[in-house]
């Protein structure tokens, strides 16, 4: 799976206003059950990863690790972003599948 396609889809979701970014905003939306998928950058701090994973687990929201903070920020046309919340079920499902495939491919390399 081409990583660029994943970043393009994240950018498309941003332009469609289906994303929320930043730890506080994403956690608030998770609490309101508006987020369908949380993407955490692979270079996020251990504390941030733990906070977000615990919050997602308790609210039953899927959480995946993908890309660097710079790649995620670039994909949505902003400065670096560590956490992105996907609020649309369609985008969330497609991104989750693409990211899982990409991570599996990287494991075999």
Any idea where the domains of the chain sit in the sequence?
A: 3-108
- pTM for the predicted model, two decimal places: 0.94
**What is the rounded CA–CA span in Å between residue 39 and residue 10?**
10
pLDDT in the model for residue 2: 82
CATH of domain 3-108: 3.30.1330.30
Considering only CA atoms, which of 6, 66, 80 is closest in space to residue 38? Answer: 66
Q: How confident is the model at residue 103 (pLDDT cuts 50, 70, 90)?
A: confident
Summarize the confidence of residues 47-72 as an average pLDDT.
95
């Amino acid at each position: 799976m081409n990583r660029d396609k994943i970043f393009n889809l994240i950018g498309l979701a941003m332009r469609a206003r289906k994303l929320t970014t930043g730890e506080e905003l994403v956690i608030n939306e998770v609490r309101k059950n508006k987020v369908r998928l949380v993407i955490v950058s692979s270079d996020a701090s251990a504390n941030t990863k733990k906070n977000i994973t615990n919050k997602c687990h308790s609210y039953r929201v899927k959480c995946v690790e993908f890309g660097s903070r710079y790649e995620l920020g670039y994909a949505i046309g902003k400065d670096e972003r560590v956490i992105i919340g996907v609020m649309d079920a369609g985008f969330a499902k497609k991104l989750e599948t693409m990211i899982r495939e990409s991570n599996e491919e990287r494991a075999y390399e």
